[in-house]
Amino acid sequence: MSALIVFAKRPVPGCVKTRLTPPFLPEEAAELYRRMLLDILAKTGQMADIDRFVFFEQGDGSREYFATLVSDGEVYSQEGDGLGDRMAGAFRTVFGLGYDRVAIIGTDSPDLPAAFIGRAYGLLDDSGVDAVFGPSDDGGYYLLAMKRFQPELFTGIPWSTGEVLERSLERSTVAGIATALLPVWHDIDTAADLLRPELADPANGAPLTREFILRHPPHTPASPDRR
- For residue 209, give the CATH number of its domain: 3.90.550.10
Task: Evaluate whether 63 touches 56 at the Cβ level (below 8 Å).
Answer: yes
Q: Tell me: the pLDDT tens digits for 89-122? A: 999 999 999 999 999 999 999 999 999 999 999 9
Residue 190, classed as helix, strand or coil, is coil
CB of 131 closer than 8 Å to CB of 175: no
Give CA 143 to chain center in angstroms: 7
Number of domains in the chain: 1
- Say whether pLDDT at 223 is over 60: no
- Residue 52 belongs to what H/E stretch? strand 50-56
In angstroms and rounded to an integer, the radius of gyration of the C-alpha atoms of the chain is: 17
Q: What is the residue range of 84's domain?
A: 2-226
Number of H helices, E strands in the chain: 6, 7
Give percent of the chain above pLDDT 70: 96
Q: What local confidence, expressed as pLDDT, does residue 220 receive?
A: 47
Residue 175, C-beta contacts closer than 8 angstroms, at least 6 positions apart:
150, 152, 153
